[in-house]
Amino acid sequence: MSKVLLLNSPHFTSIHRRTLSSFLTLSSPHLTLSPLPFHRLSCLFLSSPPSPLPSFHRRTFSVRAFDSSEEETKGKEVGPEVNKVDDGGETFAGPREDYPTGEFQFEEFSWWRKFTVKLKLLIAFPWERVRKGTVLTMKLRGQISDQLKSRFSSGLSLPQICENIVKATYDPRISGIYLHVETLSCGWGKVEEIRRHILDFKKSGKFIVAYAPACREKEYYLASACEEIYAPPSAYFSLLGLTVQASFLRGVLDKIGIEPQVVRIGKYKSAGDQLTRTTMSEENCEMLTALLNNIYGDWLDKVSSAQGKTREDLENFINEGVFQVERLKEEGWITKIFYDDEVISMLSERLGMQKDKNLPMVDYRKYSRVRKWTLGLSGGKDQIALIRASGSISRVRSPLSAPSSGITAEQFIEKIRSVRESKRYKAAIIRIDSPGGDALASDLMWREIRLLAESKPVVASMSDVAASGGYYMAMAAGTIVAENLTLTGSIGVVTGKFNLGNLYEKIGFNKEIISRGRYAELLAAENRPFRPDEAELFAKSAQNAYKQFRDKAAFSRSMPVEKMEEFAQGRVWTGKDAASRGLIDAIGGLSRAIAIAKLKANIPQDRRVTVVELSRPSPSLPEILSGIGNTLVGVDRTLKVLLEELTFSDGVQARMDGIIFQRLEGYAYANPIFTLLKDYLSSL
């Protein structure tokens, strides 16, 4: 078997709150997006009051077939004007400062609007009924998806979390929010988005408090944005800092007789290191250290500022290794030591509830069914299409893939074309949360996004990760917006195959091949190493794949190929560093992407728009019913993913797996072999 992977860092590096583990696999799951009924979301995260639209330069797209020759690509200036940022003598394209921020501005409803909301609440559906003075409760724990979720699905949805916070901001029946923050299994980009909404909610004057029974760096990052933090006496607080680890398989492979034959292009192509090395390379160490420094530095700055401390105070506290909840209270890192029932009693007293009355509360799921229309938050007549792309990229849906998960090029392209052909949408936003996948699929989607950008403004909004194939998609948009801690870039290639000859000899297995054609056995003969001419062809194919990716990135970002080469070579960047190097245009979340889309579409910033979701919440009821009976002690789903991982992919992969700040066990792109073993052992 052979795989070609366009990626940057260790193929499976998992960075979580305290540990960044890196490991490798050579294939990617083939998942899919669901069909496209429409769901509307009105946009109220408007930027500051009306102002004259600043001048801007729309990117002029050419949709001719891309010529990968360097001579034609060098120095092409087809992109938007960007600021220039000097960095140690080098001049990089910096983020545009004249883009609207999309910052939330809380505005009191007029008397007429308040009156219409009261009328709508009187005729609301039964499931939308909420008592006055109710507290919205949300338990933030486990995985958080960037896709919409149906009421039949478990888990949390980032768009629904954010929408609930916005609704609670204006809902006259909601007096405040009570957050339960526990161990999270998502990247830092989603955490930044939720944190921003918490800060926006506080502008309404309503209270928002956090309860943290199990808290590490990521959870505390969220909780620190709330007005108050409570924890039980036995709480697990582990604010010990972040680490980075790398795992290497070469020694294991040598013992069992497997020889990895890897071709690396670019000094940061550390995915191959997992197979060919026994220690971390200097380049890999440099890249991972930079990522770690960025995230740790941002965490120190945001948390210390929120708690009214200095960065040095927080660093000193962490370096003391404090785990006692009493110390956290004494030094002002939490508000009080309370059990959950004590916090509820305190909130009841604060709201003037009688002692014999229970505090009225509504949970995340029920409140998600309250329509924005009911609260007077419906959008305007101008519509912006929102297309979400989450998960691994494949060209067609695999029979083994789970419905409504992953990015399937065929279905994604249908959505893109429907937006391009429709006159109802003034602009489009592509929301990306993907480490990549099939390179051909990525290129086909790149083409369709560019065609769409010919007819209307397109803005790419990055979530946790938009790297390799995910960045391939994003770079086709006119403007790219990412969070400070989004992981992006990863423009690069590594390719290889396993020589299993020694293993076959050890276990007594033999394989013979009859072939026609000089290179017919290039991918079929895993029982022997490459011949010299085969190795040369294999290396050339990898070099060609890398050159196409890099040159298209340079073309899309209006950058000379030589400059793009400095930022490519498979390196992963945080959003902040990517912005300073011209790989993205602006720092922010979905609200800023909407504001920029309005700017590009000549829609005044103070005018509300309707954001139309071109995807349905998943899984649907039929999908749930079709899956009943297919799971036995959790192994069924893992086996499906494992089989996909072991299935030979159709050609080049544009993928960066694993660099996500979270626990390995909760990581959607983690190696399924380990998950399978865990499920099997737990079933005994």
Catalytic sites, residue numbers: 269, 468
* Angle (nearest 5°) at CA 438 between 435 and 443: 100
CA 475 to CA 467: how far, in whole Å?
11
Number of helices (H), then strands (E), in the chain: 23, 30
State the Cα–Cα distance between residues 166 and 45, nearest whole angstrom.
9
Burial label for 617, CB within 10 Å (0-12, 13-18, 19+), is buried
Residue 68 DSSP class: -
DSSP letter assigned to residue 500 = -
> 420-424: long-range contacts (C-beta < 8 A, 24 or more apart)?
420/448, 420/451, 420/452, 420/455, 420/456, 422/385, 424/383
Q: Specify the DSSP element, H or E, that contains 467.
A: strand 458-467
The vertex-318 CA angle with 316 and 324, nearest 5°, equals: 115
Environment class of 521 (CB within 10 Å of its CB; exposed 0-12, middle 13-18, buried 19+): middle
DSSP 126-193: GGG---TTEEEEEEEEEEEESS-B-TT--SEEHHHHHHHHHHHHH-TTEEEEEEEEEEEES-HHHHHH
Q: How does strand 228-231 pair with strand 336-337?
A: parallel
C-alpha Rg value of the chain to the nearest Å: 26
Question: In this structure, what DSSP letter does residue 32 have?
Answer: B
Nearest alpha carbon to residue 31 among 678, 674, 672: 672
Separation between Cα atoms, residue 416 and residue 636, nearest integer Å? 33
Q: Residue type for 481, please?
A: V
Nearest 5°: the CA angle 185, 191, 195 is 145
Look up residue 607 and give its two tokens: 């005018």
Tell me how far apart the alpha carbons of residues 191 and 252 are, in angstroms, rounded to a whole number: 37
Identify the CA nearest to 568 among candidates 488, 491, 473, 472.
491
CB 423 within 8 A of CB 601: no
| Amino acid (one-letter) located at 140 | L
Tokens matching residue 642: 């494992």
Q: Are 175 and 136 in contact (CB under 8 A)?
A: no
Q: What is the DSSP letter of 665?
A: G
Q: Write out the H or E segment, with its range, that includes residue 463.
A: strand 458-467
Round to whole Å and give the CA distance between 551 and 246: 30
DSSP letters spanning 332-348: TSSSEE--HHHHHHHHH
Torsion sign (Cα): 338, 340, 342, 343:
positive
